Amino acid sequence: MGSKEKGETMTNYNLIATSAMGLEALVAKEVRELGYDCQVENGRISYQGDERAIVRSNMWLRTADRIKIKVGEFKATTFDELFEQTKALPWENFLPANAEFPVSGKSVKSKLFSVSDCQAIVKKAIVERMRQHYHISGWLEENGPLFKLEVALQKDIATITIDASGSGLHKRGYRTGQGEAPLKETLAAALIMLTNWTPNKPFVDPFCGSGTIPIEAALIGQNIAPGFNREFISESWEWIPQQVWEDVRLEAEELANYDQELDITGMDIDHRMVKIAEENAFEAGLGDLVKVKQMQVRDFTTPKENGVIIGNPPYGERLGDKKAVQHMYREMGEAFSILDTWSIYMLTSDEEFETVYGRQATKKRKLFNGFIRTDYYQYWGKRPARDI
Ligand SMILES: C[S@@+](CC[C@H](N)C(=O)[O-])C[C@H]1O[C@@H](n2cnc3c(N)ncnc32)[C@H](O)[C@@H]1O
């Protein structure tokens, strides 16, 4: 295995963008917008692409969890089958002789259910292949670049992947502080992409906590790549030329629209969260763009029109909290009732939300916030006169 020089032909890989449950269509849309045709399954979007596609996917996908490379997929009902078919895969195309390659695993509805045995067998098969290929008789040193492998068995089909992201893609690198129930950055981006917000409209998050939603809105508003401020595990792999990383970062710099003016405000009742949100916005390089204020939602008024409100309020799930939270929802409904040109979007697990808030949603969409089943209640504002 040698490193590629600039201009050398790129290889095509089977790629998977993993997705949280319910966000698959959004991830697929993003993958297509990057120019890759894709297939959608539960929790994963499959497509083909070269080294540049791996780098661009890591850099640009706002709603995907991770980028993985699928090395092989095959039926395996015995340990022998798992061993032989893993060994038959071209591991030397991915792993240098000194690669460090831990193997994790999972098994669902499969004859091979002992995950630790499956991991050990996959590891052994790859070691044997590598020894033969690199002519190594003793131990593999494993003191080189890191490749995180996974063997996932689903209904007796083994899929073996390499993680090309490292830390999950939600880790953008800006969130240094957070509150009690921070939203994942990938879900925050999804909530924004599900609205009719465009960068010329006012944007408000009345429950901003650590600022995740307003910060993601500012990144989207100025077309800043979500991965611009972080590193990826695949940056240390020698078969992805450094030049590709440099080109993709340069392209991201060129595509960012720093001149786009934005009117984005985050608010929170808790002054400590206001400070954390300000620090995070500053860390993201958006300190001047995201305004943060201490305010209770019931006090919100605005003379502006055609704005968008997105909120991730407390859900009142803890014993004894529900009454107070529903009281707050009621006050919010009253405060927002006059904003008839604004579109309002709220994510909560409270199934009585519409009744308490005082209005039936135009539309609602089931989403998972981690393991909590929530609904995204959408109230579309009156269209501006010029649109009708
Ligand atoms: C679930 S957290 C939001 C988390 C945020 N999306 C993030 O990623 O960090 C809810 C926030 O609402 C704030 N909050 C609670 N009651 C409020 C009220 N009446 N008005 C404004 N903010 C309130 C809390 O202080 C908390 O920070």
The per-residue pLDDT for range 237-254, each reduced to its tens digit, is: 999 999 999 999 999 999
| Range 132-138 average pLDDT | 94
pTM: 0.95
CA distance 50 to 59: 14
* Residue 155 and residue 218 in one domain: no
% of the chain surpassing 70 pLDDT: 97
- pLDDT of 161 above 80: yes
Q: What was the pLDDT predicted at 386?
A: 59
- Pairing relation of β-strands 103-108 and 149-154? parallel
CA distance 96 to 92: 6
Q: Which atom of ligand 1 is nearest to the CA of 210?
A: 9
Residue 324 falls inside a structural domain = yes
DSSP-derived secondary structure letter, 297 = G
**E strand map for 76-200:** 103-108, 149-154, 157-163
Identity of the residue numbered 93: N
- pLDDT of 73 above 90: yes
Spacing, Cα 269 to ligand 1 middle (Å) = 7
CATH number of the domain bearing residue 38:
3.30.2130.30
Residue 201 falls inside a structural domain = yes
Query: Of 72, 74, 75, nearest to 93 (Cα)?
Result: 72
Residue 251 falls inside a structural domain = no
User: H or E element: which one contains 380?
Assistant: none
Q: What was the pLDDT predicted at 177?
A: 81
Residue 317 falls inside a structural domain = yes
Residue 178 falls inside a structural domain = no
Work out the mean pLDDT of the chain and round it to a whole number: 95
Give start and end residues of each alpha helix (H) in 24-98.
Answer: 24-33, 51-60, 79-87
pLDDT grade for 388, boundaries at 50, 70 and 90: very low
Spacing, Cα 209 to ligand 1 middle (Å) = 5
Query: Of 191, 153, 188, nearest to 73 (Cα)?
Result: 153
Query: Of 231, 233, 236, 230, nearest to 3 (Cα)?
Result: 236
% of the chain surpassing 90 pLDDT: 92
Assign 3-class secondary structure to 49-67.
ECHHHHHHHHHHCCCCCEE
Spacing, Cα 335 to ligand 1 middle (Å) = 17
Domain count, the chain: 2
* Residue 128 and residue 193 in one domain: no
Query: Of 352, 306, 299, nearest to 325 (Cα)?
Result: 352
Residue to probe by mutation, ligand 1, list 269, 272, 290, most atoms within 8 Å of CB: 269
- Both tokens of 112, joined, read 């091979």
In this structure, the residue with its CA closest to atom 5 of ligand 1 is 209
Q: What was the pLDDT predicted at 164?
A: 98
Instruction: Please say which residue of 110, 133, 163 terminates a domain.
Output: 163
Structural domain containing residue 118: 13-163
Q: What angle do CA 191, 338, 336 make, to 5 degrees?
A: 40
* Residue 300 and residue 211 in one domain: yes
In this structure, the residue with its CA closest to atom 7 of ligand 1 is 182
Instruction: Please say which residue of 163, 195, 214 terminates a domain.
Output: 163
* Residue 156 and residue 33 in one domain: yes
Q: What was the pLDDT predicted at 217?
A: 98
Residue 6 falls inside a structural domain = no
Q: What was the pLDDT predicted at 7?
A: 55
Helix (H, G, I), strand (E, B) or coil at 73: strand
Spacing, Cα 23 to ligand 1 middle (Å) = 23
* Residue 136 and residue 192 in one domain: no
CATH number of the domain bearing residue 272:
3.40.50.150
Residues 6 or more apart from 138 whose CB is under 8 A from it?
none
Query: Of 297, 295, 300, nearest to 324 (Cα)?
Result: 297
- Both tokens of 249, joined, read 């970062």
Contact 280, 219 (CB under 8 A): no
* Residue 60 and residue 192 in one domain: no
Q: What burial class does residue 109 get, using C-beta atoms within 10 Å of its C-beta: 0-12 exposed, 13-18 middle, 19+ buried?
A: exposed
Per the DSSP assignment, residues forming a β-bridge with 150 are 104, 161
Q: What was the pLDDT predicted at 318?
A: 82
* Residue 296 and residue 373 in one domain: yes
* Residue 192 and residue 323 in one domain: yes
Identity of the residue numbered 232: F
Please give the C-alpha separations between residue 268 and each of 187, 207, 208, 209, 247, in angstroms, as whole numbers: 19, 5, 6, 6, 40
* Residue 91 and residue 205 in one domain: no
Q: What is the largest distance, in Å, between two alpha-carbon atoms of the chain?
A: 77
- pLDDT of 320 above 90: no
- pLDDT of 311 above 80: yes
Identity of the residue numbered 82: L
| Range 248-265 average pLDDT | 98
Task: Give, to the nearest 10 degrees, the angle between helix 271-283 and helix 212-221.
Answer: 30
Backbone angles phi, psi at 91, to 5 degrees: -60, -30
Residue 252 falls inside a structural domain = no
* Residue 105 and residue 193 in one domain: no
Tokens 């994510």 belong to: 347
Write out pLDDT tens, residues 29-60: 999 999 999 999 999 999 999 999 999 999 99
* Residue 60 and residue 207 in one domain: no
Q: What is the CB < 6 Å shell around ligand 1?
A: 178-179, 181-183, 206-207, 209-210, 212-213, 268-270, 273, 296-297, 312-314, 328
* Residue 189 and residue 322 in one domain: yes
Residue to probe by mutation, ligand 1, list 268, 280, 321, most atoms within 8 Å of CB: 268
Spacing, Cα 345 to ligand 1 middle (Å) = 15
Residue 241 falls inside a structural domain = no
